[in-house]
Amino acid sequence: MTATRTATTQHTSSAAPSSSFTGTATLVRFLLRRDRIKLPAWTAGFAVFMLYLATAIPAVYETEADLQGATQLFHDPVGRMLTGPGYGFDTPTLEGFVANGYGLYFMLLSALMSILLVSRHTRVEEQTGRAELVRANVVGRHAALTAVLVVALVTNLAAAAAVFVMMVAVGGFGAAGSAVFAAAIAAIGVAFAGVATITAQLTEYSRAASGMAGAVLGAAFVLRAGGDMAAEGGNALSWTSPLAWGQQTAPFVLDRWWPLLLPIALAVGAATVGYVLAAHRDVGASLFTVRPGRQRAAPSLGTPLGLALRLQRASIIGWTVALAITGLVFGAFTDALIDALGDMPEAFVELFGGTEDMIAGYLSYMAVFMAYLVAAYAILAVVSLRSEETTGRGEPVLATPVSRWTWLGSNVAVTVGGIVVLSGVTGAANGLGAAIVTGDTSYVWELTAAGLNHIPAVLVVLSVAVLLFGVLPRAIQATWVIVGYGVVVGTFGPLLELPDAAYEVSPFEHAAEMPLEAFSLQPLVALTAIALVAAGVGMLAFRQRGINVA
Amino acid sequence: MSEQTPAISIQGLQKSFGKTRALDGLDLHVEGGEVHGFLGPNGAGKTTTLRILLGLLRADGGHARLLGGDPWSDAVDLHRRLAFVPGDVELWPNLTGGEAIDLFARLRGNLDHARRDELCERFDLDPSKKGRTYSKGNRQKVALISALASDVELLLLDEPTAGLDPLMEAVFQDCIREIKAAGCTVLLSSHVLAQVEVLADRISIIRQGAIVEAGTLSELRHLTRTTVTAETADPADRLSGLPGVHDLQATNGRIRFEVDGEHLDPVVRELASLGVRGLTAHPPTLEQLLLRHYGDELAARTDTSAEAQP
């Protein structure tokens, strides 16, 4: 508040010579004021993440041997794919394990934070027309972009400082290595701020701009995943990825500073391109022209089912791709598990049903773990149907000769279809991953069946969401409790030595644990019957209630 | 539609949301083939009434009939015969305007392609843009075109021109006249008084969940005052003594006053005798009609707030 007041009384325009950067300082303060919650929250998030690691890792891996066992998982090719080049995993130290095992995720976060920050203050502002309001004042052509980049730099430095403090003060890690680690996080963040500066110039829509920058980040992840998996310490492929540049500093192992010149060069280069592009276009315009969509609706879009399918299509495709990749990776972990069997902490062995049939136990757990994720999809599908209602998009549809029964029924039918596809595909991907690393192709069929086996449990979750949608729509998010409870019981139940009754309540605990156990039809029939009743009651209640009232 | 069945017939409609009473004994009567203005400020209960007529909400009490059927239990059948344009049109961000128009019309079961293209042209709408890129006015056009392109008996329009510019509002008015000529009934809810004045055969004014006035525009005007401005040769002070004359102001031979409808004749005769050099008289605008109702309410509010403060 004070910042704005001082700025207006300064009469900058008459006092100082005007340049294309006039007003930058005021805009920086303005942005900091607008983001006064968001930026401290991000910084605090970084601090808490490191605080958690610095306290939890020593607590979980009490002995040298425990740490060695955990490092084993990260050291293997699949582990390297998910974590990084694997520096210092031969002779693991606590700080080396934290920095080189989890560093990738700090960098992903700082990159994401920077992309969202730049997008929010450039393209969103233009899209909403607020940028015009600012530019109509005594503000230079480059002032807005410069202010955003300054704020991005400051925020990344703040996040890095928070991480550094936690490492040194809480973890008691060495200052030199902690400094390299923190600097790498900031450098990667700033590099992606530069990338977002370019993408913000390319399209008229902030979502597309963030999406493009996000795609660059995704590509960076995949490139380094390939390179790091292929060779310990990464290979030439890794070095094409900005994320790898941060990891190649190898904190606490090599403590190299020079790889950070690369992300800094990228940030400067990308920002320069951003300035040039911005100077060559009008406010609100973009370099890519907007592609017009269909003038007329396709014949499929004209029935309630067609509409439901169209609205859920993108979500089903996205979930299928994401879960297929996850399934493939978890399946591919099977081999590493066989190797690491002896060194595993006790907790893992318990979770996967003891040492005798560990592989089948692991894959059975993965099948039910995937069912938790499919259940999350099911809940989100019903939640988004609720938001169709509350945003007012459902109302005009229900004002046509589409009955409530048909509207809700079509949407639920599409979601059921999505559940079947997701369960089958993730099961198959899980099996494919296991088959690739073990050479045993029978896993593909076994795990597809194991995936499909959990469909009735997911249908129970879906039906509870539908029940709440009909009876008490504002409580629809309560459905998450079932999934949360299922995860806790299914994952920690053996450790907590829970009574049988605790398992009975979770819908995920009734189907046979395939491939560990043989298929059993009876529990599936019971689960499906429960789902049908709950969904039926929900649909009947929906016919009786008002639309868009709490 | 037969002449006997009214398009909409509502008696004593009640609806509460928690402690808020949205509708408090609302009566509304709309004949087949008429354009009926449903006028009132925001929050008076217009949208709630429409949502009950669409079977989206269930009334707490009273009777409502729509095209001879029950709005709640016959909803699907009734919806084949009507089209609805909401006040706040929300579109799917990833569907184009054209897709949304076609979707609604197909769900209604009667899309006239030629009419749709003609309407897109007249309303100057680019149907190939995605929903998220449309302005409020353009989203409104999508819903309007979809409704107007369907061959229906009844149009329920909730503040249909809130985001339209004056040019598009003129197009809208033409379209309403055309479909009225084709025999369609229109319930036009609005707080834009000029729009209702131009289009409506009859008007119902709603205030705090109940109808306070209903009738043709001339019937309603009969209830209120005409504003007269005149330039006269002789001083006009004595007019102020006549019955029915209010707020007379005289400056440099120009006078301005309001006169009650039933006293207009003697006042004009008296005025003529003063040597009229210039004269304008205009009927009450709907603003004045509304002001009379909400003026009372404002006065009442001021009183209560005065009482509340010791």
* Interchain pair A293, B143: CB under 8 A: no
Cβ distance B108 to B139 under 8 Å? no
Q: Is pLDDT above 50 for A124?
A: yes
Neighbours of B109 (CB within 10 A): 13
* Burial of A534 from C-beta contacts in 10 A (0-12 / 13-18 / 19+): buried
* Interchain pair A292, B88: CB under 8 A: no
* Interchain pair A301, B108: CB under 8 A: no
In the DSSP assignment, the letter for residue A171 is I
* Interchain pair A401, B106: CB under 8 A: no
Which B-chain residues 180-209 have CB contacts (< 8 A) with chain A? none
pLDDT at residue A193 in the model: 97
B22 φ, ψ to 5°?
A: -80, -45
Query: What is the maximum alpha-carbon separation in chain A?
Result: 84
- A6's CB contacts (< 8 A; 6+ apart) are none
Nearest CA to B149 out of B91, B88, B83 is that of B83
Q: What percent of chain A has pLDDT over 90?
A: 54
Tokens (6 digits) for A386: 């609720």
Cβ distance A51 to A168 under 8 Å? no
pLDDT digits (tens, 9 = 90+) for A274-308: 999 988 887 777 776 667 788 888 888 889 999 99
Residues of chain B with pLDDT under 50: 1-2, 298-299, 301-310
Of A296, A399, A402, the CB nearest to B98: A296
Cis peptide before B41 (omega within 30 of 0): no
pLDDT at residue A406 in the model: 95
Distance CA A359, CA A427 (A): 15
Distance CA B95, CA A171 (A): 51
The nearest alpha carbon in chain B to A302 belongs to B103
- A442's CB contacts (< 8 A; 6+ apart) are A435
Distance CA B3, CA B24 (A): 29
pLDDT digits (tens, 9 = 90+) for A245-262: 999 999 999 999 999 999
A297 φ, ψ to 5°?
A: -75, 145
Strands B20-30 and B35-39: unpaired
Cβ distance A360 to A515 under 8 Å? yes
- Stated as kind and residue range, the H or E segment containing A495 is helix A480-496
Cα of B102 to nearest chain A Cα, Å: 6
* Interchain pair B132, A205: CB under 8 A: yes
Distance CA A374, CA A388 (A): 21
pLDDT at residue A2 in the model: 42
Cα of A138 to nearest chain B Cα, Å: 28
Q: Is pLDDT above 90 for A407?
A: yes
Distance CA B45, CA B26 (A): 9
Of A204, A294, A398, the CB nearest to B56: A398
Pinpoint the alpha helices (H) of A231-303.
Answer: 242-247, 261-279
Mean pLDDT value across chain A: 87
Q: What is the pLDDT confidence band of residue A118, given thresholds at 50, 70 and 90?
A: very high
Q: Is B294 on the interface with A (CB under 8 A)?
A: no
Q: What is the pLDDT confidence band of residue A218, given thresholds at 50, 70 and 90?
A: confident
Of B83, B103, B127, the CB nearest to A295: B127
The nearest alpha carbon in chain A to B91 belongs to A393
pLDDT at residue A414 in the model: 97
Please tell me the least confidently modeled range out of A358-362, A397-401, A464-468, B219-223: B219-223
User: Which residues on chain B are in Cβ contact (under 8 Å) with A303?
Assistant: 106-107
Q: Is pLDDT above 50 for A198?
A: yes
Q: Is B91 on the interface with A (CB under 8 A)?
A: yes
Strands B254-260 and B245-251: antiparallel
- Side chain identity, residue A17: P
User: Which residues on chain A are in Cβ contact (under 8 Å) with B156?
Assistant: 399
Query: For residues A20 and B177, which has the higher predicted lDDT (pLDDT)?
Result: B177
Tokens (6 digits) for B303: 């009183």
pLDDT at residue B303 in the model: 44
- A426's CB contacts (< 8 A; 6+ apart) are A323, A324, A326, A327, A370, A373, A374, A451
pLDDT digits (tens, 9 = 90+) for A422-462: 999 999 999 999 998 888 899 999 999 999 999 999 999 99
Cβ distance B185 to B32 under 8 Å? yes
Query: For residues A236 and A287, which has the higher predicted lDDT (pLDDT)?
Result: A236
Please count the residue pairs, one from chain A and one from chain B, whose beta carbons lie less than 8 angstroms apart.
110
- Which of the residue ranges A138-152, A501-515, A520-534, B197-211 has the most confident prediction, judged by mean pLDDT? A520-534
Tokens (6 digits) for A229: 């998996």
Cβ distance B237 to B250 under 8 Å? yes
pLDDT at residue B306 in the model: 38
Of A295, A314, A549, the CB nearest to B57: A549
Q: Is B73 on the interface with A (CB under 8 A)?
A: no
Q: What is the pLDDT confidence band of residue A8, given thresholds at 50, 70 and 90?
A: very low
* Burial of B114 from C-beta contacts in 10 A (0-12 / 13-18 / 19+): exposed
Q: Which residues pair with A255 in a beta bridge?
A: none
Secondary structure in 3-state letters for chain B: CCCCCCCEEEEEEEEEECCEEEEEEEEEEECCCCEEEEECCCCCCHHHHHHHHCCCCCCCEEEEEECCECCCCCHHHHHCCEEEECCCCCCCCCCEHHHHHHHHHHHHCCECHHHHHHHHHHCCCCCCCEHHHCCHHHHHHHHHHHHHCECCCEEEEECCCCCCCHHHHHHHHHHHHHHHHCCCEEEEEECCHHHHHHHCCEEEEEECCEEEEEEEHHHHHHCCEEEEEEEECCCCHHHHHCCCEEEEEEECCEEEEEEEHHHHHHHHHHHHCCCEEEEEEECCCHHHHHHHHHHHHHHHHHHHHHHHCC
pLDDT at residue A262 in the model: 96
- Side chain identity, residue A141: R
* Interchain pair B128, A307: CB under 8 A: no
pLDDT at residue B200 in the model: 92
* Interchain pair B90, A401: CB under 8 A: no
Tokens (6 digits) for A313: 């299509």
User: Which residues on chain B are in Cβ contact (under 8 Å) with A400?
Assistant: 79, 104, 107-108
Q: Is B132 on the interface with A (CB under 8 A)?
A: yes
User: Which residues on chain B are in Cβ contact (under 8 Å) with A392?
Assistant: 86, 88-90
Of A296, A401, A546, the CB nearest to B80: A401
Q: Is pLDDT above 90 for A135?
A: no
pLDDT at residue B227 in the model: 85
Distance CA B117, CA B101 (A): 11
Which B-chain residues 8-67 have CB contacts (< 8 A) with chain A? 17, 51, 54-58
pTM for this model (two decimals):
0.74
pLDDT at residue A527 in the model: 97
